[in-house]
Structure 1
Amino acid sequence: MAQREGLTMCNLYSQTTSPEAMRQLFAGLTNAAGNIEPGDIWPDRMAPIITAGDDGHVLRTARWGLPSPPQFHSKSGIDRGVTNVRNTNSPHWRRWLGPAHRCLVPLDRFAEPRQGKGAGNAWFALKEDRPAFFAGIWVPDWTSIRKLKDGETTDDLFAFLTCDPNAEVAEIHPKAMPVILTEPDDWEEWLVEPWTDAKSLQGPLPAGTLEVSE
């Protein structure tokens, strides 16, 4: 599980897109998130996501980290969540692969850990200044114990898919990279099409698309 393996996959990203900017990308977008503070986003933090609703797209916030399989809960019942999903053949994830549980997660850049103790992160961003979204999964109204001091809470949760890395990411992190969608047609396909069609989007960006910003 990504959360338990430390910074083995993308567990930090940044997003600065305002609700107004997202409204320009998705006609008729309903803002159920209110004001959104831009900045870096870490696991278990609240972050904006876009889902498909009955009357159009909805901008909302959710907590980063999907429900873990029960065997990964602590002895006290704590489930710290899974931040990245790779194996979509797993029965644990298959129940949430339909359009009702898919979301888009806006981002500006994402971090992958450099190899070596204390080497820090490499930040990746698109070479072209254009909107980008992680291909995400969300689970609304999930009750669990995220932190012992808080007891049971009911939250909307999300994570995003990963895939084989492209050339730029593989130089830093050869295991995986997030699935990032940059084309409006792909955004719509991810939100509304059946899994048999949408699963083809679980792949890396083309080589040359990303650059290391730090």
Structure 2
Amino acid sequence: MCNLYSSTLPQEAMRRLFKGMTDLAGNLEPGRVYPDQMGAIIRHADDDLELVRSRWGLPSPPSVLKTARDPGVTNIRNLASPHWRRWLGKDNRCLVPVSSFAEPIKGGNQWFAPTDDRPMFFAGVEVRDWKSVRKVKDGETTDDLYAFLTCPPNAEVKAVHPKAMPVILMEPDEWQAWLDGEDAKAMQRSLPDGALQLIAEAR
């Protein structure tokens, strides 16, 4: 399960990829993103798109919570769950820029990156203005939240983590299809074998 990724795609590059997009993210520093931290996402804004910061971790299903605190869920696998199904439509779709991602191994992390220089994005889902207790010391907060889909792993990831990998979109038509609301189940597929390389450090 991917609970760490790196995003180094410059804001200017994102603005070129999505012409007309409004940039509300401020100065995005490249680097690693951990659960419950703020990360960049590209989401719908009226009839266009906007680049914003959002908090990584969607609301947890109430059935799994043992206290009032909800640490959030970073990955979505079961699309048939009513808890997730309500947020799978076009209005809640987003793209999460990613340069490399990690899977835990003994003694650290194994990082994965594309074999070429194409930009890539996680297939994301976002929810706005959600009230919850993420940290007891902070009390109830109101946050914009996001997570991303996972799917069966391709060959490179399977050798390290046999259960799942993030749903990664590497082609402009895939980015647009996801944002346009194409069937989520149909897009919940792994990258082709050979599309990723194992690297020692984040990119």
TM (norm. structure 1) is 0.91
What secondary structure sits across from 2:185 in the alignment?
Answer: helix
- Residue range with higher mean Cα deviation, 51-60 or 16-25: 51-60
The residue that corresponds to 2:73 in the other structure is: 82
Alpha-carbon offset, residue 152 of structure 1? 0.2
The percent identity for this pair of structures is 61
Alpha-carbon offset, residue 198 of structure 1? 4.1
Q: 2:35 aligns with which of 14, 34, 43?
A: 43
The residue that corresponds to 1:106 in the other structure is: 97
Alpha-carbon offset, residue 52 of structure 1? 2.2
1: distance between equivalents of 2:42 and 2:125? Answer: 10
CA contact (8 A) 1:189 1:198 kept: no
Q: 1:187 aligns with which of 162, 175, 188?
A: 175
The residue that corresponds to 2:14 in the other structure is: 22
CA contact (8 A) 2:40 2:52 kept: yes
Q: 2:58 aligns with which of 63, 66, 71?
A: 66
User: What is the one-letter code of the residue matched to 1:126?
Assistant: P
The residue that corresponds to 1:130 in the other structure is: 118
What's the CA shift string for 1:119-175, capped at 9, x where partnerless? Answer: 311100000111000000000000000000000000000000000000000000000
- Determine if the alignment matches structure 1 residue 165 to structure 2 residue 153: yes
What's the CA shift string for 1:159-195, capped at 9, x where partnerless? Answer: 000000000000000000000000101101101134x
The residue that corresponds to 1:212 in the other structure is: 198
What's the CA shift string for 1:58-80, capped at 9, x where partnerless? Answer: 101110000001122232x0000
User: What is the one-letter code of the residue matched to 2:63?
Assistant: Q
CA contact (8 A) 2:6 2:99 kept: yes
- Kindly tell me the number of residue pairs found equivalent between the two proteins: 200
The residue that corresponds to 2:188 in the other structure is: 202
Unpaired segments ≥5 residues, structure 2: none
- Determine if the alignment matches structure 1 residue 147 to structure 2 residue 135: yes
What's the CA shift string for 1:22-47, capped at 9, x where partnerless? Answer: 00000101011111111000000000
What secondary structure sits across from 2:101 in the alignment?
Answer: strand
CA contact (8 A) 1:52 1:192 kept: no
Q: Report the aligned-residue RMSD.
A: 1.0
2: distance between equivalents of 1:55 and 1:137? Answer: 18
User: What is the one-letter code of the residue matched to 2:98?
Assistant: L
CA contact (8 A) 1:180 1:204 kept: yes
1: distance between equivalents of 2:131 and 2:79? Answer: 23
2: distance between equivalents of 1:66 and 1:43? Answer: 10
